[in-house]
Structure 1
Amino acid sequence: MGQKVLITGGTGLIGKRLTELLLQKGYEVAYLSRKKTNIKSVQVFDWDISKHYMDEKSLENVRYLIHLAGAGVAEKRWTEDRKKTIISSRTDSIILIARKLRELNIRPKALISASGSSYYGEDTGDIRHSEASPPGNDFLSKVTLEWEKAADSIADLGVRTVKLRTGVVLSNQGGAIPKIALPARFGFGAPLGSGKQWMPWIHIDDICRMYIEAMENESWTGAYNAVTGSPVTNEELTKKICKVLGKPQWLPNVPAFTLKLALGEMSSVVLGSSYLINQRVTTETGFRYEYPEIGAALQEVLS
């Protein structure tokens, strides 16, 4: 068997594709999961974060940790209870792992943790953010700050830790693109709000390859903007989707107030503007994107 990679949130959008790529490269893949499930070629270990329990066998011979677990930000309205769940699902899980690593005196080679492009703020207009930019002070910024702080509990053990601040992931298996493309397939594609809000993005294969590169290459450490170098506005994305699907884009923009009424505070997920610069990826690593341009990326995803 190859080197063991233990993943939290392995059944999510990124986790599924990442697992495929890791297995292709000869790694042994294991999941921590709350549900009893059988996944081909993957060993699944039990854990219950609310009870501070995890199967300690999951950490035997572990070489790398990948932390993807977290309740969906856009799945439900942001009640106070939901907000607490969004944060705790990302933080309590990795803190539990850190405690177990300390108790068992186990030190993997690296932790690669998900983080969010909203680190810099839910809506920052045309301001360009590199990894050196300060964090925002709204709810999603708080989520990512707490998320990264929890990941640092592994770094405090002397384990190399990488945090990937990820934007919109382009995939046909889930995430934002199928939802945006659905009305466009029927000729009802329309930008949201002003349509001028910036959307940092990355193709599913590129973000998964980035996880593996960050895992294998010991020069990666700290936070990286895990996006391409060519963000698009919501209006540009809508037009590109319609073009790839061969559908007209003639409807007026969906008014922002309609989205705010429907989604409440969560509307910032689709109305907020975030322009990220992948400065550290391009200047400090040799990582090469397979899909650096939105047209080719959408063509692959939507075809």
Structure 2
Amino acid sequence: MAKNVLLTGGTGFIGKHLTDVLIENGFTVSILSRSSRENTPSITYYKWNLKDNFIEKDAILNADYIIHLAGEGIVEKRWTKNRKKAILESRTKPIELIFSALKENKKTLDAFISASAVGIYGAITGPEICTENTPPTNDFLGTTCQQWENAADQITSLGIRTVKIRTGIVLGKDEGFLKKIAPGFKAGFGAILGSGKQYLPWIHVEDLCQIYLKAIVDNNMQGAYNATITDNTTNATLSRILANLYGYSIWIPNIPEFLIKLALGEMSIVVLEGQRISSEKIQKAGFEFQHTDIEATLSTSLS
């Protein structure tokens, strides 16, 4: 019988791609949803409600693996106190609910795999290349990711292999990061943000989904793994490539930091700062990236 993978966030950008990859590789997929959806031969939908601490029992009982992708968007709205709370709780509360359901039903899993983010290393631009051993920072992104991963570690206490995938910017055709920024470049108004020296740790959605698949089938994977390309792509690099792909050179001066901070508030650190990230650990685990050239990746993602 095919193994079942239960997804949170299964209807989002990454979740949709991952669902296809899992089905192609012989898994059945279950997706937790806040609203009723019609099942398909390969996908079963179960209801859950975080406010009521409710999750359909069969979703847990039928799962062999659980992958947690759900979470409010980091850059969708300004970081008010309430927004910060929503960002954090949308990542930690689902894990707490799953933990309680597993414990209550005395249910074990082959593995629990949670998304995380390279934001755990903080919003800092500098020469350091962050590894999985780099200490978390105490800014909003760092503490949010740390609490996110601490929640996932609860699952480990149940004797379940737990993997945390620290992701950067995810690129894909007409989706994710590019969906937000490409229209401005396409219209001829592309610009470099701030100094342009901030690094942009990136990964193609196809590679990211293959990392999740590997985390399922590789019983040796446990703990945190960076899931980004290790290169020197900066905001300036990406901006110039995007403009060139649309047939022009950037003519607008760099957008000053103070204007970005005025417009975005504290959230401006997401676009004004960025780290270099090591992918050595996942590569030593046997993973090979298929999308390693930023220009080629952008070209195929925009075509």
TM over 0.5: yes
Pairing of 1:3-82 with structure 2 (within 5 A): 3-38=3-38, 40=40, 41-82=42-83
The aligned counterpart of 2:151 is: 150
Pairing of 1:1-303 with structure 2 (within 5 A): 2-38=2-38, 40=40, 41-283=42-284, 285-303=285-303
AA at the equivalent of 2:291? Y
Structure 2: how far apart are the matches of 1:172 and 1:178?
8
DSSP-derived class of the 1:163 partner: strand
Structure 2: how far apart are the matches of 1:51 and 1:22?
30
Unpaired runs of 5+ residues, structure 2, are: none
TM-score, L = length of structure 2: 0.96
Offset, 1:68: 0.4
TM-score, L = length of structure 1: 0.96
**Aligned partners of 1:167 and 1:200 also within 8 Å:** yes
AA at the equivalent of 2:9? G
DSSP-derived class of the 2:30 partner: strand
DSSP-derived class of the 1:31 partner: strand
AA at the equivalent of 2:4? K
Offset, 1:272: 1.3
**Aligned partners of 1:9 and 1:15 also within 8 Å:** yes
Offset, 1:39: 6.0
Q: Deviations over 1:73-117 (max 9, x none)?
A: 111111111111111110011111011111111111001110011
Cα RMSD after superposing both structures: 1.3
* Larger displacement relative to structure 2 (32-41 or 70-79): 32-41
DSSP-derived class of the 1:62 partner: coil
**Aligned partners of 1:171 and 1:204 also within 8 Å:** yes
**Aligned partners of 1:29 and 1:42 also within 8 Å:** yes
Say how many residue pairs are matched: 302
| TM-aligned CA distance change 1:20 to 1:39, over 3 Å | farther
Unpaired runs of 5+ residues, structure 1, are: none
**Aligned partners of 1:192 and 1:255 also within 8 Å:** yes
Instruction: Indicate the percent of aligned positions where both proteins have the same amino acid.
Output: 44
Structure 1: how far apart are the matches of 2:35 and 2:154?
26
Structure 2: how far apart are the matches of 1:2 and 1:159?
20
Structure 2: how far apart are the matches of 1:102 and 1:297?
43
Offset, 1:298: 0.9
* Larger displacement relative to structure 2 (9-18 or 243-252): 243-252
**Aligned partners of 1:130 and 1:225 also within 8 Å:** yes
